[in-house]
Structure 1
Amino acid sequence: MTWERPTTIPYPMVWHEFQGPDLGNTDNLVTYRVQDLTPNRFDDMVQHFLDHYLDEEPECVAKGISGDALAKREIIEYWRWCFGRRLTLVCYKDGSREIVGGNLLNVRTAAREDVRKVESEKLNGIFTSNEYLTDTFDVFGHYGVDKYCTAYGMAVRREYRGMGICREMLLARIPMCKAFGLALTSTNFTSAGAQAAAAKAGFRNDFEISYDDLAKLGYTFPNITSRSTKVMSLIIK
């Protein structure tokens, strides 16, 4: 059965607030909030991911997604499908409507309804590689859960990188998961920066495979800049 956001949980919700350096004046602390993305910002979030994710996420870059019209169209369609699940998180600085960061979330069940069929061979290569990780490390069996929060991409605006935004957005999953009755969040992290942020947020390393070894299995990512991809999980207490 497809998981749906409970109607008892208000939408949108602010899930996490934190103090962080202000852009251009790191000695000044300001408040940031992480909340549900609302439909009036869907187009803006698409543009945010085009500007700050598609040409930087290691697997997308290696596959040349942004330069392939079909792959680009289909990944945007996938993002919009994620938005429609009403789980995508957006980070704002108080007093500003500028998108600081975004995280595409979903609740995965054993039915894997989040696996979408695509025509693009390049995009399908990313999807099938991620499913290989899922098949190799059984999140459900290992943690004894029938569902968990997962993610399909995080993008922080370039100007705000190095300020701990990624870690704080990962921490926002904790109150969200508690509200939804989820005992676990688990994600395939593909970049060294995201893996480091996840470790700082308390995620444990469940499974790691190098891209060289993935290539030997037929999952090729030409000239990829990342050394490995990791399944990392956080138990929600």
Structure 2
Amino acid sequence: MAKSAEAEVEKMKLLEERIKAPSIWGRVACGIRFEDLQDKRYEDAVRLLKKHYLPEELTYRSVKIAEDQEGTDEFVHNVRIWMKDKMSIAAVKEGVDKLVGVMIMRIQEKHAYSRTFSRVKLTHNPLYSSVMTFYNAIEKPVNIFEKLGVRKYFKVYILALKKRYRHRGIAKEMLKSAFGLAASANVPAIAGIFTTGRSQQIATEIGFEKFNEIYYIRYLIDDQIVFWDTGLGNYGAALMGYRIPDVEEQLEMYAQHSSRFNIQPLEDDEET
């Protein structure tokens, strides 16, 4: 009788683990899988971004934000908010189950569009603010909803990989893996700012369209170039978007079986 009860408990534990298991959105032959970024990996994601993204991503590197504790803290604060939406993807090394990359995304809705760009951006650190102001200058002239003919889309905030996993086609496959997540959420488009020539090339190969671009050499504040450490072949940052074929929006917002796809109001203390 006791053995039967123990077996039942074990079955329930296994079922619970299966329910909690992340959805897998893709794999690449080098042993990387793309899955939901779950709460248990949030701290690993923050560590990865502080070590492999802030010191190396073109815009943040140029303003040396990794050397500024306040700027880093503000960036991390916003990353934690973005991850709460549970719309992000983790790149995980199979076998060892190690996080090697993240793509952080949120759903953007048309009815919040005017509010998003009319309010004051509550950024405080001058280095972080300089990057956010630049991104806003790229995004503001473009109505993505009209360009792509949608009422909502996934905004890619960050796509980051550890250095040893770059230049192996993983970033491209990771971006493509978001299509499955988008389809499951009835989100028909993806857009984001791509800051390097290579990332823009990858997006173009997938089918993304360029809507606006600001050249680094032409972006001046007080007659000074802000982003000078841009590297070879990186001339500007571009807003790019993609309408995913065969993904249709629901005409009405129906209740989902999971809270995962219930869109939360944007919090006022972060950059959108």
Match of 1:7 in 2: none
1:132 CA drift (Å):
1.6
Structure 2: runs of 5 or more not aligned? 1-18, 246-272
Match of 1:78 in 2: 78
- Aligned CA distance change for structure 1 residues 183 and 152 (closer, same or farther; 3 Å): same
Aligned residues: 219
Q: Does 1:18 align with 2:23?
A: no
Structure 1: runs of 5 or more not aligned? 1-9, 22-29
Q: Distance in 2 between matches of 1:153 and 1:118?
A: 18
1:159 CA drift (Å):
1.1
1:209 pairs with one of 187, 206, 214:
214
Q: Distance in 1 between matches of 2:52 and 2:40?
A: 20
Does the 8 Å contact 2:22/2:38 carry over to 1? no
Does the 8 Å contact 1:63/1:122 carry over to 2? yes
Match of 1:34 in 2: 34
Match of 1:154 in 2: 159
Match of 1:119 in 2: 124
Match of 1:130 in 2: 135
Does the 8 Å contact 1:129/1:219 carry over to 2? no
1:194 CA drift (Å):
1.8
Does the 8 Å contact 1:105/1:152 carry over to 2? yes
1:217 CA drift (Å):
9.4
Does the 8 Å contact 2:90/2:103 carry over to 1? yes
Q: Distance in 2 between matches of 1:117 and 1:150?
A: 19
Identical residues among aligned pairs (%): 21
1:15 CA drift (Å):
4.0
Q: For 1:1-237, list aligned pairs within 5 A.
A: 13-21=22-30, 30=31, 32-110=32-110, 111=112, 117-215=122-220, 220-225=225-230, 226-237=234-245
1:153 CA drift (Å):
1.3
Letter paired with 1:209: I
Q: Secondary structure at the match of 2:219?
A: helix
Runs of 4+ residues over 3 Å off in structure 1? 10-13, 112-116, 216-220
Does the 8 Å contact 1:101/1:165 carry over to 2? no
TM-score norm. by structure 2 comes to 0.74
TM-score norm. by structure 1 comes to 0.84
1:114 CA drift (Å):
7.3
Q: Deviations over 1:130-189 (max 9, x none)?
A: 122221122112222222101111111111112111001100111111111111101110
- Aligned CA distance change for structure 1 residues 218 and 144 (closer, same or farther; 3 Å): farther
Structure having the larger proportion of residues in strand = 1
Q: Secondary structure at the match of 1:100?
A: strand
Q: Secondary structure at the match of 2:95?
A: coil
- Aligned CA distance change for structure 1 residues 13 and 131 (closer, same or farther; 3 Å): same
1:228 CA drift (Å):
0.3
Does the 8 Å contact 1:71/1:123 carry over to 2? yes
- Aligned CA distance change for structure 1 residues 214 and 15 (closer, same or farther; 3 Å): farther
Question: CA RMSD of the aligned region, Å?
Answer: 2.3
Does the 8 Å contact 2:218/2:225 carry over to 1? no
Q: Distance in 2 between matches of 1:223 and 1:107?
A: 32
- Aligned CA distance change for structure 1 residues 98 and 170 (closer, same or farther; 3 Å): same
